[in-house]
């Protein structure tokens, strides 16, 4: 997977204090001028690389966004309210962050001649009718979150078509990896915490539901490819192309942590998606993307077996063109 080098650019990462954004900052910081816009509501300042310029503020604040985007070449838009139930409770309010702020960024990119890479989500598919789901599947979001992401994708596509703003949307599946934390951080960090604490692992429902778990280092790589591709104005799935059940996940986590904890079941989540898995044919063909870290290896790394050590060290070994001179 050859990634053309990204150098000497002024780059804005919104949500740069978040889980995915902070990893992106680290991948870019050595050779670029990197700005972070984050209100640190769920993000963490400690996670932001010291060499990045931090603008603490709201992505909905037009003045702040204007300052953050001045003379910028490249924008990675990772800031969002990722708490799906919050978008169900407050669709209009969350729309301001997840949709309107993104639209304002596209407008700034138009003024600044910048490229925009948008963090979208598998949530645009809702309950996918086809597995693995290709980008050509008819999107039918089952939450305001999915609608907000889809609407922004559509604007991004139009900004490329109408105004020549290079945009790429990345539909993240279930992302996991170091620095994932907090109440909306996902099943892997919850299970790891439970196993480490010697507590029961709580499977919701029968555990036969499946997900496509993709490591954050691969998600970073997809972003770097999106930042350099000629195939703009389009959306791509970012997953591994394989699925694991939640029960398999629970068993693997118990194994890699080496904890003798029970796996218990509790009520299934209302509206839970039964199966979710990405077809990555298009990303492979057009971006040259391939997920490189399989779930078990990623989990062993997270559990502290240091198979890869630091995730950037790992990224470096598989990004020879970008990082090794
Ligand atoms: C994920 C995304 C979400 C996105 C959606 C799109 C994360 C953290 N969230 O939600 O942003 O909108 O995909 O499809 O990646 N589970 C348990 N026990 C627990 C916690 C969870 O069994 O303690 C189960 C859940 O019921 C669910 C599965 O694990 O079936 C995955 O849950 P979660 O990690 O929250 O992600 P998604 O709901 O897939």
Instruction: Check which CATH number belongs to the domain holding 262 and give it.
Output: 3.40.50.720
Is the minimum distance from the CB of 203 to ligand 1 under 6 angstroms?
yes
> Quick one: tokens of 212?
């496509």
Closest residue by CA, ligand 1 atom 38: 272
Q: What pLDDT does 182 receive?
A: 84
2 located within any domain: no
Instruction: Note whether residue 129 is domain-resident.
Output: yes
Find the catalytic residue in 145, 155, 176, 236. 145
193: Cβ below 6 Å to ligand 1? Answer: no
pLDDT(26) > 90: yes
Q: Is residue 119 part of a domain?
A: yes
Q: Which residues of 100-119 are buried (b: 16+ CB within 10 A; e: fewer)?
A: ebbebbbbbbeebebbbbbb
Q: Is the pLDDT of residue 310 over 90?
A: no
Local confidence band at 184 (pLDDT 50, 70, 90 cut-offs): confident
Tell which residue, 291, 159, 282, 158, has the closest CA to residue 231: 282
pLDDT at residue 1 in the model:
58
Separation in Å, CA 225 to CA 229, 237, 282, 290: 6, 13, 13, 11
Q: How many CB atoms lie within 10 A of CB 272?
A: 13
Distance from Cα 17 to the centre of ligand 1, integer Å: 21
Nearest CA owner, ligand 1 atom 31? 187
CB of 266 within 6 A of ligand 1: the answer is no
Query: Could you give the C-alpha distances from 112 to 31, 164, 168, in angstroms and in order?
Result: 21, 12, 17
Annotated catalytic, 145? Answer: yes
What is the chain's mean pLDDT, rounded? 93
pLDDT one-digit tens code per residue, 122-151 = 999 999 999 999 999 999 999 999 999 999
Number of domains the chain contains: 1
Q: Is residue 323 part of a domain?
A: no
26-34: average pLDDT = 96
Instruction: Evaluate: CB of 165 within 6 angstroms of ligand 1.
Output: no
Looking from the CA of residue 207, the nearest atom of ligand 1 is 22
Residue 138 lies in a domain: yes
CB 207 within 8 A of CB 269: no
Whether 4 maps to a domain, the answer reads: no
Q: Is 217 in the pocket of ligand 1 (CB under 6 A)?
A: no
Tens of pLDDT, residues 209-268: 999 999 999 999 999 999 999 999 999 999 999 999 999 999 999 999 999 999 999 999
Residue 317 pLDDT > 90: no
CA–CA separation, 180 and 177 (whole Å): 6
């Amino acid at each position: 997977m050859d990634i053309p080098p990204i150098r000497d650019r002024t780059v804005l990462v919104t949500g740069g204090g978040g889980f995915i954004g902070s990893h992106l900052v680290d991948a870019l910081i050595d050779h670029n001028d990197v700005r972070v816009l984050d209100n640190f509501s769920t993000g963490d300042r400690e996670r932001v690389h010291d060499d990045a310029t931090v603008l603490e503020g709201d992505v909905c604040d037009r003045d702040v966004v204007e300052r953050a985007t001045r003379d910028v070449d490249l924008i990675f838009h990772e800031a969002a309210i990722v708490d799906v139930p919050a978008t169900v409770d407050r669709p209009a309010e969350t729309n301001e962050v997840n949709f309107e702020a993104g639209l304002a960024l596209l407008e700034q990119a138009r003024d600044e001649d910048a490229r925009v890479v948008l963090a979208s989500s598998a949530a645009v598919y809702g309950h996918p009718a086809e597995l693995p789901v290709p980008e050509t599947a008819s999107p039918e979001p089952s939450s305001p979150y999915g609608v907000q992401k889809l609407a922004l994708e559509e604007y991004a596509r139009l900004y490329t078509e109408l105004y020549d703003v290079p945009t790429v949307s990345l539909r993240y599946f279930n992302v996991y990896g170091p620095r994932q934390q907090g109440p909306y951080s996902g099943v892997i960090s919850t299970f790891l915490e439970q196993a480490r604490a010697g507590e029961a692992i709580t499977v919701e429902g029968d555990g036969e539901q499946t997900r496509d778990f993709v490591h954050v280092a691969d998600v970073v790589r997809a972003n770097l490819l999106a930042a350099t591709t000629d195939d703009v104005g389009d959306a791509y799935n970012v997953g591994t192309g394989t699925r694991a059940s939640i029960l398999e996940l629970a068993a693997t986590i118990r194994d890699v942590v080496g904890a003798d904890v029970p796996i218990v079941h509790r009520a299934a989540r209302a509206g839970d998606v039964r199966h979710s898995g990405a077809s990555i044919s298009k990303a492979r063909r057009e971006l040259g993307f391939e997920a490189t870290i399989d779930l078990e290896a990623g989990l062993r790394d997270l559990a502290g077996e240091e198979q890869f050590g630091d995730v950037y060290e790992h990224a470096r070994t598989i990004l020879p063109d970008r990082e090794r001179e």
